[in-house]
Amino acid sequence: MMNTSYEANIFHPKDLKEIRKRFYPHLVQRFGKDQLLVDASISEAIVNSWKHGHGSSTDTPIKVKVTFLNSMMIVRVQDCGEGFNWKEYQIQSDMKHWFPNVEDLEDRGRGIVLMLRVMDKLRYNNKGNECVLMKKYRRQE
pLDDT in tens, 106-139: 556 678 888 988 999 999 999 999 999 999 997 7
141 within domain boundaries? no
This model's pTM is above 0.75: yes
14 within domain boundaries? yes
Give the three-state DSSP class for 54.
coil
Domain count, the chain: 1
132 within domain boundaries? yes
108 within domain boundaries? yes
**How many residues are given for the chain?**
141
Residue 96 has pLDDT above 90, yes or no: no
- Cα–Cα distance between 37 and 105 in angstroms, integer? 16
- Say which amino acid occupies 84: F
119 within domain boundaries? yes
- pLDDT, residue 85, reads 85
Share the mean pLDDT of the chain.
86
Looking at the chain, list the stretches that DSSP marks H as alpha helix, in order from N- to C-terminal side: 16-31, 35-48, 102-106, 110-118
Neighbour tally for 35: CB within 10 Å: 17
How far, in Å, are 2, 25, 74, 111 from residue 122 at the CA level?
A: 24, 23, 10, 12
- Cα–Cα distance between 31 and 25 in angstroms, integer? 10
58 within domain boundaries? yes
* CATH number, domain containing residue 28: 3.30.565.10
- Cα–Cα distance between 87 and 128 in angstroms, integer? 9
Confidence band for 70, pLDDT divided at 50, 70 and 90: very high
- Cα–Cα distance between 92 and 85 in angstroms, integer? 17
